[in-house]
Amino acid sequence: MKKSNQYLTTGEFAKLCNISKHTLFHYFEIGLFLPEYTDENGYRYYNVLQYDTFLTIRQLSDLGMSLSEIKEYLVKRSPQKMLELYSRQEELLDIQIKKLRAIKKSVHSQKNNIEKALLSTDKFFVEEENQKYLLCSKVIKDIDDCKMTYAFGELIKISKDNIGPNVYGMINEIDNIQNNDCYFQFYIQTTSRKKQNVFLKPAGKYLNMFHLGGYEDLHKSYKEILSYAKEHCLSLYSLIYTETIIGDWAVNSSKDYIIKISVQIKEWFSVKITKEVRKNKKFSIYGDYYDEILMDLYIKL
């Protein structure tokens, strides 16, 4: 057959489709997309009308179908098959969109935390947090690098969220810190509520500080944030959280790590002492007057 304008060489057809010749070679090898004509010398020619078929392959590939699935569909294609295909792919796209939204939310949160950690001039600060789901390890005593690595490795294996960058950290009880007991649970943030060992970190106001340095010195910062809460009459819930904001992926040494420590505030009593109140030996709390005995009681909370 003599070559006409309707027939293109492999190189010409590849250029039309904006792909490499090797892609067409691969499609030929797996039987997905074949040239319409091969001459006696082995040269392959594609009909320009095959461009529509190529566009179908590209469209289905963009929808997430594998080449083997596309090959099977092209053999049995029909309007009904296309309708079933689009319905199935629509469900898969909804799942991917949900996952991408979670990734974007995680990236945005991490970006804000890093900016705040680098620019913040306040050692302690209070901020409102939304609820989060944390996939937790078992309770581990006396942490070290080996235990930490294995704990996080198991959590990532179980999670399968891949919502990177992974938000991870530790949970401890305030009583343990005050008693110098080293019991921790490691966690990674998850999008799933159905897995075992998923803990809900509740929404609310949290007292926070940034710890500069490695995990080995965290106990000092724990004591600092608890002392600050006591001095400012903050009643706290029982758990204290850490979240690694800047770690090995951003710095060369653990001495440069930035770890966020947070604890949820139960009650926050704002104390205002005026000259008149001092004279009457009474204090003002949110506009109401209490005598010194009641004030002492609130401070102990």
Please indicate, yes or no, whether residues 64 and 110 belong to a single structural domain of this protein: no
Q: Do 204 and 116 belong to one domain?
A: yes
Residue 15 lies in a domain: yes
The answer to whether the CB of 188 falls within 8 A of the CB of 242 is: no
- Across the range 246-262, mean pLDDT stands at 89
- Above 50 in pLDDT, residue 289? no
What pLDDT was estimated at residue 291?
41
Q: What's 111's domain CATH number?
A: 3.20.80.10
Portion of the chain with pLDDT greater than 90, in percent: 38
Q: Is 70 exceeded by the pLDDT of residue 55?
A: yes
For residue 160, the model assigns a pLDDT of: 65
Band of the pLDDT at 24, cuts 50, 70, 90? very high
Tokens of 203: 């929404």
Give the residue numbers spanning the domain of 262: 104-268
Mean pLDDT calculated for residue range 37-51: 92
- Predicted TM-score (pTM) of the model is 0.61
Work out the number of other CB atoms within 10 angstroms of the CB of residue 148: 17
Residue 265 in tokens: 């505030």
Q: Is the CA virtual torsion 247, 213, 258, 204 positive or negative? A: positive
The verdict on 135 and 238 lying in the same domain is yes
Of 55-69, 82-96, 98-112, 286-300, least confident by mean pLDDT is 286-300
User: How far are the Cα atoms of 104, 200, 206 from residue 193, in angstroms, in the given order?
Assistant: 19, 9, 22
CB 185 within 8 A of CB 261: no
What stretches of the chain adopt beta strand conformation (E)? 7-9, 37-38, 44-47, 124-129, 132-136, 140-141, 168-173, 183-190, 198-201, 204-212, 234-246, 258-268, 271-272, 282-285, 288-291
Residue 167 confidence (pLDDT) above 60: yes
Same domain, 109 and 233: yes
pLDDT at 99 over 50: yes
101-136: pLDDT as tens digits: 878 887 888 888 888 888 887 889 999 999 988 988
Domain stops at, among 25, 57, 76: 76
Average pLDDT along the chain: 82
What is residue 104's predicted lDDT score, i.e. its pLDDT?
85
Structure tokens at 228: 């600050």
Predicted confidence at residue 281, as pLDDT, reads 45
Question: pLDDT tier at 145 (50, 70, 90 boundaries)?
Answer: confident
Pair 148, 223 in one domain? yes
Rounded average pLDDT over 87-100: 86
